[in-house]
Structure 1
């Protein structure tokens, strides 16, 4: 799949915007890029294109914070299951109508946006983490393979176990980095990761990093609360658009 100049410009603009969002609020690069590229190019292509920028930026996030060992010791069953089950979901990409999977992605984006806009917080007591982690991790992995979205219910679980903010941000980076790596392997094994898409994904790191640096530079000049609200409203509208288009 050779990408024309207009498509390349769309990809670059998408990752610049996604990187800016991540630079301001610390999350959103995979979600923004996946939503916009699915709406313009289709789900399998969007999943392939987000791989390298998502992996690079989230490895960065996963290694910064000084809590890597503590986080790993606490949530490793969740992370393992969220990683090893991605291939199961990816099997659906070659067996189900892509419009069904696109609609599922739209629904996940809607749930993610509504939960955050409504301020819904779910608590998982420490005594339940031992079984909830692997179950939710497996669910997140299968959904990642089917839709390319890493956030539902994985991020909700990380929030529900009460991680402090810095640990939460680092744990999300760990989840996203591992999920991206597993998704790359699964897409490659299914023949959905072409050389053109791979190179374009690698080149998209440049606007993604540029956007992150820009977002970090303007962070102090913006109301993070208002920016997050606008971000989740945008994700909600994009989810609705993807569902409507798929149906």
Structure 2
């Protein structure tokens, strides 16, 4: 597919905004960039275009804030499970329609957000059993990330229930994303779908994403931890609405 000046300018603006959101919340780049870019390309091309910017954003978010090696040592098993899920999800994306996974993800997030009102749902088992729940979250998050490019909400639920400090939460999520997106890139390359033309276009998009990321980090560093967690839950509600809208749009 060829890209004109207008498409490239739209792509730069979209990745700049997506980077800003990711910097402020610690996640969100693919959730913002992919559906908008899919409007001027298609879902698979949008995912391929955002791979390099996504990886760059994940690396910077991981090492920002200090003691990132401690976060890696603590949460690498979750990231490995996300790696496995991402490889499986990418194969599913190539082989079948990934659209139904959007409703599955939206339903899971709504259950989590409504758990305070639905007293029968107890999420405290995540904190009591961090290893098995981390394996499940990583596998499911990778699967959803590989299929619909939106694995963040699952990982956000897991890490929110661990009551991590905002810096550690951001580092842990981006460690998982980094391995997931790296695996997705390798899988696409193995399948012959990652061409040089897409990589060359994605480079300026990556620069725009990093500029936006830095601005978002500036905002996040000035917000209290409790306020930050409230923002994350608000972001989850917005993502649920977007997932449902995308599901019905793909049906059409």
Q: TM-score, normalised by structure 2?
A: 0.80
RMSD: 3.2
Which sits farther off after the overlay, 113-122 or 207-216? 113-122
Q: Confirm or deny: 8 A CA contact 2:53 2:202 kept in the other structure.
A: yes
- Which structure 1 residue ranges, 5 or more long, are not aligned? none
Corresponding residue of 2:184: 183
Shift of 1:190: 2.1
2:105 equivalent in structure 1: 108
For structure 1, which segment, 206-215 or 196-205, has the greater mean C-alpha deviation from structure 2 after superposition?
206-215
C-alpha separation in 1, matches of 2:214 and 2:234: 20
SS state at 1:153 partner: helix
Structure 2 residue runs of 5 or longer lacking an equivalent are none
Measure the CA separation in 1 of the matches of 2:32 and 2:143: 20
Deviation larger for 42-51 or 15-24: 15-24
Q: Distance in 2 between matches of 1:104 and 1:80?
A: 21
Corresponding residue of 2:205: 204
What pairs with 1:54-73 in structure 2 (closer than 5 Å)? 54-73=54-73
Q: 1:244 pairs with 236, 241, 248, which one?
A: 248
- Shift in CA distance, 163/228, structure 1 to aligned 2, threshold 3 Å: closer
Partner of 1:133: 134
Q: 1:124 to 1:170 in 2, by over 3 A?
A: farther
C-alpha separation in 2, matches of 1:74 and 1:47: 29
* Worse overlay, 52-61 or 216-225: 216-225
What is the TM-score with the length of structure 1 in the denominator? 0.82
Question: Contact (CA 8 Å) 1:35, 1:238: kept in 2 or not?
Answer: no
Kept after mapping to 1: 8 A contact 2:18/2:212? yes
Residues 3-37 of structure 1, C-alpha deviation per residue, up to 9 Å, x if partnerless?
Answer: 22222122112101112222333332222112322
Structure 1 range deviating more: 207-216 or 4-13: 207-216
